[in-house]
Chain A
Amino acid sequence: AYAENVKIALVVKSLGNGFFDAANKGAEEAAKELGDVDVIYTGPTKATAEAQIEVINSLIAQKVNAIAVSANDADALVPVLKKAMDRGITVISWDSGVAKEGRQLHLNPSDTNLIGETIIKLAADYLPEGGDVAILSASSTATNQNAWIEAAKKVLPEKFPKIKLVATVYGDDDSAKSTDEAKGLLKSYPNLKAIIAPTTVGVVAAAQVVTDENLIGKVNVTGLALPSEFKKFIDNGASQAVALWNPIDLGYSAIYLAHDLAVKKEEAKPGATLSIGRVGKVTLDDTNSAAMAPPFQFDKTNIEKFSKIY
């Protein structure tokens, strides 16, 4: 019956993004499996903290049981999420995290350091000689991208001494601006060997620029991309490989964990090991964060298959 079901809101950064739509698929899957869950898939259309707060406010008013949020801003959401928790709502963050005070646990799609390393490795694998690379990120305020770039910079000197990171630019997840920035990179750094874009809008823009400027084979575009949106550029050679985690599993796990916490089946505390249905188990660290699987790599051999899934 309606009243007994656990209402869980899956709040995303912005609606319409293929990545989050795929996550919603996983969420629905978890809901079916758990049986007593209603998923509310929602989020702002514009990826801003203020808009997300309005959404969360209306969820609080609807007295949902749990909120699982991928945050547009790690800090700005804290007050409103605290209010939610004060009113007895279970709050977790996933994908893009919220500061510790604003949630009970955070589910990282993958280990931050691992992602940082992976995005560099994706470029390095095809650059045995080494060379110049540049990063084209999303907006300068995006929490997770910034964390990955930090991590990437840290591993560079020890693990990839021949790779030189010459610039980090921001395309704001806006295709026009990303295109301008990618072009600028190619002009300013004639020796550029790879563009790393850890965001789906940026990586597509960069790949299109490389295609347009006839630089396929000279400049490799890589980063994080949804296979369904990026297949074209693996096929035409603008990119050798990209990586991503499984958004379906991520959405599935977020709902699963939110449910278990909401019905008090589990408790989130440092060191706890929580089980997530078919995905397995995660262990919380001392900030109550858990990381899921390492990023998965897509290249010519498997893109066809995955592009059909997400």
Chain B
Amino acid sequence: MTDTPAPRHIPDRLDKPLSSAVFSWEALLVVIAVIIFAVNSFASPYFLDPWSLSDLTFNFTEKGLIALAMALLIISGEIDLSVAAIVALASTMMGMAVQAGAGTPVLVGIGIVVGLGCGAFNGLLVTRLGLPSIVVTIGTMSLFRGIAFIILGDQAYKGYPESFAFFGQGYVWWVFSFELALFLVAALVYWFVLHRTSFGRKVFAIGNNPVACQFSGVRVGRIKFILFCLTGLMSGIASVLITSRLGSTRPSIAQGYELEAITMVVLGGVSILGGAGSILGVVLAAFIMGLVTFGLGLLNVPGIVMSIFIGLLLIIVIALPIVWRRLREGRFA
């Protein structure tokens, strides 16, 4: 009595109209970057100079390194506000090691290990005790930097070895700095991990529905813990670079970096609610922020006015696709 119908065929994917690629987030960012680049070259005769362009990258490489890991963390639905404080603490520890006579390899090791340790501490609090990460890291942000203050007080550490200067000041080839090279390599690695591995897939899945992931046999806690460790690790690396670039350590180092790194991530199209985003977007956003700040710097625009531009850029870039879609649907209220 029951007719058995042939199973319906479901295609892998529908042919997407070209417009969806043209209007993708990354395309929007590329357009913006090109426009800013053009405006900069037009507005300042000093902009189109290899050394200027090289100096420009220093405005974002360190924050960008942190932003790469932060992007994964935010995609998984968590956030880390303590990254700048981790930079400060790691730098302080490196400073202490210098006083004890440590050499460059040891210093780098200490920076990385301290970063990793702080990240693990955040990760433990969040995954073991099930606390909301935004609150935990507001706490550890004070705690980590507070420890740096307790250790250093009103002192500064200096006297870093000559060879240590390479990380923040050295060049790999011609105008290509070590920082830029490291940032690009790290971006490649993070791109691969996020978009091409099952680990990355799980990060996206967790950001969308952690409970269903747990039921699906994804070790949610472990992955989040790893992401916090990675963020700590990248902060540790950034700390090595900044400390090397400044050649000294004070507890107030890297103040406000957390918000800039998060701005980069969000500008890069990562959903702050988790579950969506791409590394390419974050890298483009890092370049855009560097272009904006450096370009305005060449015109001697005060930093605070630059920050207005960044803030506007953030809101406009996020609002643009929404407004555009509504206009097309003709239902803009």
* Contact present between A and B (CB < 8 A): yes
Q: A interface vs B, CB < 8 Å? A: 15, 40, 42-46, 48-51, 53-55, 57-58, 60-63, 73-76, 78-80, 83, 99, 139-141, 146, 170
Residues of B in contact with A (beta carbons under 8 Å apart):
44, 46-47, 49, 51-52, 55-56, 58-59, 149, 153-154, 156, 158, 165, 168-169, 242, 245-248, 250-256, 293-294, 297-298, 300, 302-304, 307
Give the distance to chain B from A144, nearest Cβ to Cβ, in Å.
Answer: 12
Contact of B297 among A46, A55, A73, A99 (CB under 8 A): A55
Distance to closest chain A CB from B35 (angstroms):
20
Q: A73-B246, A146-B154 are in contact. List 14 more A-B contacts (CB 8 A).
A: A42-B302, A45-B307, A48-B252, A50-B254, A51-B303, A53-B246, A54-B294, A62-B300, A73-B250, A74-B156, A75-B246, A76-B250, A99-B158, A140-B149
Q: Are B59 and A57 in contact (CB under 8 A)?
A: yes
Contact residue among A45, A63, A99 (Cβ-Cβ distance under 8 Å from B302):
A45
Q: Which residues of A contact B44 (CB under 8 A)?
A: 62
A129 to chain B, nearest CB (A): 31
Q: Cβ of A40: which chain B residues have Cβ within 8 Å of it?
A: 300
A74 and B253 alpha carbons, distance in the complex (Å): 13
A residues less than 8 Å from B251 (CB atoms) = 140-141
Q: Are A141 and B46 in contact (CB under 8 A)?
A: no
Could you list 23 A-B pairs, sorted by A, with CB under 8 Å? A15-B304, A42-B302, A48-B252, A48-B256, A49-B253, A50-B242, A50-B253, A53-B245, A57-B55, A61-B294, A61-B298, A62-B44, A62-B46, A73-B250, A75-B156, A75-B246, A75-B247, A76-B246, A76-B253, A79-B246, A80-B245, A141-B156, A141-B251
Chain B residues lying within 8 Å of A50, measured Cβ to Cβ, are 242, 246, 253-255
Quick check: A55 and B303 within 8 Å, CB to CB?
yes
Q: Is the CB of B298 within 8 A of A141?
A: no
How many angstroms between the C-alpha atoms of A146 and B154 in the bound complex? 8
CB-based contact A54/B246 at 8 Å: no
Contact call B255/A48, Cβ cutoff below 8 A = yes
Measured between beta carbons, the chain B residues less than 8 angstroms from A141 are 154, 156, 250-252
Partner of A54, one of B51, B59, B149: B59
Q: By the criterion CB–CB under 8 Å, are B156 and A61 in contact?
A: no
* Neighbouring A residues of B246 by C-beta, 8 Å: 49-50, 53, 73, 75-76, 79
Are the C-beta atoms of B303 and A44 separated by less than 8 Å? yes
Are B304 and A45 in contact, CB atoms less than 8 angstroms apart? yes
Closest 7 CB pairs of A and B: A58-B297, A75-B248, A140-B154, A45-B304, A76-B246, A61-B52, A75-B158
The interface residues of chain B lying within 8 Å CB-to-CB of A83 are 169
Q: For A44, list chain B residues within 8 Å (CB).
A: 302-303
Nearest chain A CB to B286's CB is how many angstroms away? 15
Shortest distance between the CB of A100 and any CB in chain B (Å): 12
Residues on the A chain within 8 Å of B294, using CB: 54, 57-58, 61
In the complex formed, the residue of A with least CB distance to B250 is: A141
Residue of B nearest to A9 (CB): B300
Q: B residues within 8 A CB of A73?
A: 156, 246, 248, 250
Distance to closest chain B CB from A261 (angstroms): 22
Contact A79 B165 (CB under 8 A): yes
Partner of A61, one of B49, B165, B255, B304: B49
- Whether A62 contacts B154 in the complex (CB less than 8 A), given A50-B253, A75-B246, comes out as no
Across the interface, name the chain B residue whose C-beta is closest to A139: B252
CA distance A170 to B165 in the complex (A): 32
User: A43 contacts which chain B residues (CB < 8 A)?
Assistant: 302
User: Which chain A residue lies CB-closest to B254?
Assistant: A50
Q: Which residue of B lies closest to A73 (CB)?
A: B250
Q: In the bound complex, do residue A170 and residue B154 qualify as a contact, i.e. CB atoms below 8 Å apart?
A: yes
**Which residues of chain B are near A76, meaning CB under 8 Å?**
246-248, 250, 253
Do A54 and B293 touch (CB < 8 A)? yes
Of all chain A residues, the one with the shortest Cβ separation from B307 is: A45
Q: Which residues on the B side are within 8 Å of A42 (C-beta)?
A: 300, 302
Give chain B nearest CB distance to A29 CB in angstroms: 20
CB nearest to A99 among chain B residues: B158
